Structure 1
Amino acid sequence: MWTDPPKLIQPSLLSRLPDALRRLRPTAWADANRAGQAVDSFLEGPCFDAAGNLYCTDIPHGRVFRVSGSHWEVVAEYEGWPNGLAARGDDLLVADYRHGLLTLDPVAGAMAPLLETILSEGFRGINDLVLLPDGGVVFTDQGQTGLQDPSGRVWRLHPDGRMDKLITNGPSPNGLVMNRAGTHLMVAMTRSCEIWRFVLRPDAVVAKANLFFRIPAGTSGPDGLAVDAHDRLFVANPGHGQVWVVDAHGLCTHRIDCTGFGRMPTNCTFAPDGRTLVITESQSGSLLAAEIPVPGG
């Protein structure tokens, strides 16, 4: 999978979910995804808005947080399972497993549906999303798909409301990201431990989708993705407790070892400085920070 062992990057603790906001109790999400074991939080969806505010989600307890240093503010709390976030103008877009795509006003805390169904049919369970330069949104429809049922979907919502079904045979499509040129989409297929890559065409014809990167097999495959200014791909890998750093040619050059905090790095995003990778580590309920060296470093 790689020609040389990936170089080690050690992350540091950026912030920890305060004890006062942890809720150790049974939830329907934990029943389905944690064998009924109560969890006090499960952090996902880190993102920064244009003003540099940092947000993340807590899936089982239906919360969106704004984080500044050690201060965590509940921006929204509702009957949903929010996962991926993206900042669009003054609002946040929320990929919600139960309710589809939502908008969130982070000042007022008001939420509204953006896309609840497709031709009246519910989604399998939306997981993550990425914004396109034209204002469109691409999102994964993961549900409980996997190797036993490779029917996860990837959708594109155009600004005018048109929908494209891009992928229909995904074994658990999860995180996704565009390359820097905006030409290729990369999608994490969690249960097959793969990153798929294909041209995102305006006519929605998908051809020659290829396996760009495969992570080591284990208890959980790739989750959230990020790309830096050098077109390097960052792959959060729960189970192994790593974030893999992959160059534009598909070679793994570095690994960010999160196991000093936990084995569940679920997602990642770059801070406004473009050098600091912020990681949600969900086993410890923490946000980690890793300083990423320039290529060749």
Structure 2
Amino acid sequence: MYFGPPPRIIETEVFAAVPDKLRAGKKASPFLEGLSFDLAGNLYCVDIRLGRVYRVSPRGEWDVVVECDGEPNGLKIHRDGRIFIADHRNGILLLDADKGKVTPFIEGPSKQRFKGVNDLIFAKNGDLYFTDQGQPGLHDPSGCVYRYTAAGRLECLMNDIPDPNGLVFNVR
């Protein structure tokens, strides 16, 4: 229970909205995740429903960087500028934003496929951590948390987790 003062109310405004021309004729709202900024101030995000990666310029202009044959579910930009995608169907992908191409980076452990990669984050030392969610819900507690070291070694840190989703580090 929280007994502190009530949170301060702040006002926000919409900076940019997905343009109608990018909705592919669908009335459903996009499902945006994996928000990450590059060094030029562009905001990248994924849309799992349409299998897209978007880039929003500092002026609020949207463009489709790539349409994946998969379900991009998370995105992070490494400190060296490489863009990584957690794709529920295809594992960890590497995006070349200039060419609009994705290539497999990690497809699965020991010649197996992941159950459904969900989110990813980089540690200060460059190690990549990500969740392999599988099917959401408590009925399938077979999810995992992995670390891919900067030296190129894949390690399962936790297994038999029901529905692992996002990851965050405490920087303190």
**Structure 1-normalised TM-score?**
0.53
The one-letter code matched in structure 1 to 2:31 is: F
Shift of 1:63: 0.7
In the alignment, what sits opposite 1:117? 108
The one-letter code matched in structure 1 to 2:148 is: L
Matches within 5 A, 1:52-201: 52-68=41-57, 69-88=59-78, 89-181=80-172
In the alignment, what sits opposite 2:2? 2
The answer to whether the 8 A contact 2:49-2:71 is kept is: yes
In the alignment, what sits opposite 1:218? none
Aligned residues: 169
The one-letter code matched in structure 1 to 2:2 is: W
In the alignment, what sits opposite 2:35? 46
The residue matched to 2:50 in structure 1 has which SS? coil
**Structure 2-normalised TM-score?**
0.89
Determine the C-alpha separation between the residues in 2 that align with 1:23 and 1:155: 34
Determine the C-alpha separation between the residues in 1 that align with 2:42 and 2:84: 15
The residue matched to 1:13 in structure 2 has which SS? coil
Residues 210-237 of structure 1: CA distance to partner in whole angstroms, max 9, x if unpaired? xxxxxxxxxxxxxxxxxxxxxxxxxxxx
Shift of 1:162: 1.4
The residue matched to 1:175 in structure 2 has which SS? coil
Q: Percent identity?
A: 46
Determine the C-alpha separation between the residues in 2 that align with 1:151 and 1:39: 31
The answer to whether the 8 A contact 1:151-1:169 is kept is: yes
Residues 66-91 of structure 1: CA distance to partner in whole angstroms, max 9, x if unpaired? 10233111111121111211112232
Shift of 1:160: 2.2
Gaps in structure 1 of 5+ consecutive residues: 26-37, 182-297
Matches within 5 A, 1:235-274: none
Determine the C-alpha separation between the residues in 2 that align with 1:51 and 1:159: 25
Determine the C-alpha separation between the residues in 2 that align with 1:116 and 1:177: 22
Determine the C-alpha separation between the residues in 1 that align with 2:126 and 2:33: 23
Gaps in structure 2 of 5+ consecutive residues: none
Larger RCO (alpha carbons 8 Å, 6+ apart)? 1
The answer to whether the 8 A contact 1:153-1:165 is kept is: yes
Residues 177-203 of structure 1: CA distance to partner in whole angstroms, max 9, x if unpaired? 11114xxxxxxxxxxxxxxxxxxxxxx
The one-letter code matched in structure 1 to 2:129 is: V
Determine the C-alpha separation between the residues in 2 that align with 1:23 and 1:58: 12
The answer to whether the 8 A contact 2:76-2:83 is kept is: yes
The answer to whether the 8 A contact 1:151-1:170 is kept is: yes
Residues 225-257 of structure 1: CA distance to partner in whole angstroms, max 9, x if unpaired? xxxxxxxxxxxxxxxxxxxxxxxxxxxxxxxxx
The residue matched to 1:178 in structure 2 has which SS? coil
The one-letter code matched in structure 1 to 2:110 is: L
Residues 86-114 of structure 1: CA distance to partner in whole angstroms, max 9, x if unpaired? 11223200000010001001111121110
